[in-house]
Amino acid sequence: MASIARCLRAARPALKVPVSRVCSARAFSATTTCNDPPTDALRKYTKEHEWIDLSADLKTGVIGISEYAAKALGDVVFVELPEEGKRVQAGDAIGAVESVKSAADINAPVSCKITAVNMLLEEKPATINQVPEDDSHGGGWIAKVSVDEQGVKDLDKLMDEKAYEEFTATEEEH
Amino acid sequence: MNNVLTTPKPHPPPSLSHPQSPPSPRTYTTASLARPLQIYRSTTTNPHLNLSIEHDLLTRSAPTSTVLFLYTNRPSIILGRNQNPWLEVHHPLLRRGLPGSQPTIDLLRRRSGGGTVFHDLGNANWTVICPPAVFDRDRHAEMVARALQRLGVATARVNERHDIVVDSEAEAGGTYKVSGSAYKLTRLRALHHGTCLLGSENLGRVGALLRAPGAGYIKARGVESVRSAICNVGVGRGEFEEAVGVGVEEVGEEMGEVEVVAKGWKELMSPEWVYGQTPLFTFSTCPTEEDPRERPPLPRELPAGKLQTNLTLRHGVITSASITGLFDSTTDKIISERLVGRNLFRSPSTKDLDVDGGDGWASILSAAVGSASSDSFATASARTDSVEALGKWLDGMLPVLPLR
């Protein structure tokens, strides 16, 4: 994701609800609820507002854009999905989201290989606005990936949910 | 090496061959790309080169810098990133060109979002590239609107679509669009570019150029353009550029020698980008569940009330096809199956649409028919007539692009 959260101020509705209170943000773990944050949560966020969920064995993951970014972008009218089978480095543009005349890059949070893409977004791009942090069937996740050692190392540079929440709160103040 | 902008070539111009020599005229250097404020004006009117320079500025200017880039293009039509050339553009008119201009009008796809626009020498383009922190969707349009006000266009203002409009003199409360905006956001940078109709001589022709004959049969994913009434602000290019950007440096044709710019230029020219980037769409001659619109009537030459064509295209390639009522059902089925995988754009890298002999739909259909079982047909000539009629009609509605 591009650094949209700050730059699209004009299009952004007031966002006062912290990301962590949004149920869909936790959809990746069946055992967790909104009131009970996952203890095995390997969801991390980038400063550019992508998230990645990593499996417990650190081999596979799911990528998407954050609730905060989805709100900032406004109505998503098209999602350019990543290319299946492609290997990318952390920070590489893997796809794009179009909303309100803006094409915003989606970047790889870590080095990875794209193993599957969410075809639902081709038909229903607005899913990104509704459940951007849902990595289940019907959710707004963007791609599934496999991760190697480098990818796991890249994870260290990302923020956990709490840090990301604080980060977006600072962006709000600008 | 301080002269990294130059392309390694077998016979470079003398000024480019020595890293120590000053930069060649009308190019920017790595040093200028590092400056906090950069203002460039292009002297070339080549749309591919200008868009490629613009993209290069987006990717290589210092992340903290602000860049203003001003350019005008020869007559051309620029699709938004996620648009459909079969739905947005009247290709035969494009090929015919404009009176007194170059033979054809160029068709490009830009990297930013938004709708299709027409460019010519009377329509100035302005681009602002800046850090995301200082960007919002109206900021730079407002900068241009203020410049127009200084030049006497008193009613210029930014509307809710982030376009610049002026009041209509004829109609109270009415407005005309004079400038449209589009954006491209990358990890480190935000790009806002817009047009500004200063004094285009082609205003009366734009509507027809942006009306595709087959639009009534096409349902497309992605982004459709929004039509607006347009007018010129009646400002000269020189005074506009002076009002928007003070202290302008010129860049010109020489930029095409810069390796990364040349590469971007080539990408913008490639049929895979212009046509192959098209989001999924359907072409259907009858109402469907997805697209229940009444369809425009088919011409008399086609078997009325009988013939139905349903095609789905992804990236400009047919992914599913159903033609019924052309011949008997078995033959129709075989023909339909054979259409799957056909490209509807010409490209040196696509083998099936033979680069030289591709006569559009007539050759696509006869290839499919020719290899279908001939036993099931009445006569060869009836077969040829039907194929020709359907081919001719499809060439008008869903042409193989670019036209020749």
Please indicate whether, in this complex, the C-beta atoms of B132 and A102 are within 8 angstroms of each other: no
Strand order in the sheet with B218-220: B218-220, B281-284, B308-314, B317-324
Nearest CA to A25 out of A170, A169, A160 is that of A160
Residue B363, SS3?
helix
ipTM reported for the complex, 2 dp: 0.82
C-alpha to C-alpha distance for B171 and B159, rounded to whole angstroms: 18
- Cis ω for the linkage preceding B402 (within 30 of 0): yes
DSSP-assigned states of every residue in A35-97: TB--SS--EEE-TTSEEEEE-TTSSEEEEEE-HHHHHHH-SEEEEEPPPTT-EE-TT-EEEEE
- Closest residue of chain A to B182, computed from CA coordinates: A101
Please classify residue B335 by burial: count the beta carbons closer than 10 Å to its beta carbon, then call 0-12 exposed, 13-18 middle and 19+ buried. Answer: buried
Question: Into how many domains does chain A fold?
Answer: 1
Please indicate whether, in this complex, the C-beta atoms of B184 and A103 are within 8 angstroms of each other: yes
Enumerate the residues of chain A whose CB falls inside 8 A of the CB of residue B132. 2-4, 6-7
CB contacts < 8 A, A to B, total: 94
Residue B56, SS3?
helix
C-alpha to C-alpha distance for B99 and B121, rounded to whole angstroms: 14
Enumerate the residues of chain B whose CB falls inside 8 A of the CB of residue A101. 80, 112-115, 137, 162, 181-183
Instruction: Find the radius of gyration of the CA atoms of chain B.
Output: 24
Residue B340, SS3?
coil
Q: ∠ at Cα B298 (B293, B301), nearest 5°?
A: 170
Please indicate whether, in this complex, the C-beta atoms of B183 and A102 are within 8 angstroms of each other: yes
Enumerate the residues of chain B whose CB falls inside 8 A of the CB of residue A13. none
The domain containing residue A131 runs over which residues?
4-173
- Closest residue of chain B to A50, computed from CA coordinates: B187
Minimal Cα–Cα distance from B81 to chain A, Å?
8
C-alpha to C-alpha distance for B55 and A140, rounded to whole angstroms: 29
CATH number at residue A116: 2.40.50.100
Two tokens at B134? 């200082």
Please indicate whether, in this complex, the C-beta atoms of A4 and B82 are within 8 angstroms of each other: no
Enumerate the residues of chain B whose CB falls inside 8 A of the CB of residue A10. 136-138
Residues in chain A: 174
Enumerate the residues of chain A whose CB falls inside 8 A of the CB of residue B223. 77-78, 98
Two tokens at A42? 């390997």
Enumerate the residues of chain A whose CB falls inside 8 A of the CB of residue B113. 98-103
C-alpha to C-alpha distance for B404 and A33, rounded to whole angstroms: 61
List per-residue pLDDT tens for chain B, 404 residues long: 333 333 333 333 333 334 444 555 788 989 999 999 999 999 999 999 999 999 999 999 999 999 999 999 999 999 999 999 999 999 999 998 888 756 789 999 999 999 999 999 999 999 999 998 888 889 999 999 999 999 999 999 999 999 999 998 878 888 999 999 999 999 899 999 999 999 999 999 999 999 999 999 999 999 989 999 999 999 999 999 999 987 778 898 999 999 999 999 999 999 999 999 999 999 999 999 989 999 998 888 887 678 899 999 999 999 999 999 988 889 899 999 999 999 999 887 765 555 444 678 988 888 888 766 555 445 566 677 888 889 999 999 999 999 88
Tens-place pLDDT, residues A30-51: 444 444 444 455 899 999 899 9
Beta bridge pairs of residue A95 = A106
Minimal Cα–Cα distance from B215 to chain A, Å?
19
C-alpha to C-alpha distance for A73 and A103, rounded to whole angstroms: 10
- Looking from the CA of B302 toward its CB, the CA atoms found within 13 Å total 21
Among A46, A68, A98, A123, the strongest candidate for a mutation testing the B interface, having the largest count of B CBs within 10 A, is A98
Q: What percent of chain A has pLDDT over 90?
A: 55
C-alpha to C-alpha distance for B329 and B339, rounded to whole angstroms: 15
Please indicate whether, in this complex, the C-beta atoms of A103 and B181 are within 8 angstroms of each other: no
Domains plus CATH for chain B?
A: 14-270 (3.30.930.10), 281-397 (3.30.390)
Q: Which residues of A touch B (CB under 8 A)?
A: 2-4, 6-11, 48, 77-78, 80, 91, 93, 96, 98-105, 107, 122-123, 174
Enumerate the residues of chain A whose CB falls inside 8 A of the CB of residue B115. 101
Nearest CA to B126 out of B248, B262, B258, B25 is that of B248
Please indicate whether, in this complex, the C-beta atoms of B222 and A107 are within 8 angstroms of each other: no
A11: nearest CB among B114, B132, B137? B137
Please indicate whether, in this complex, the C-beta atoms of B187 and A100 are within 8 angstroms of each other: no
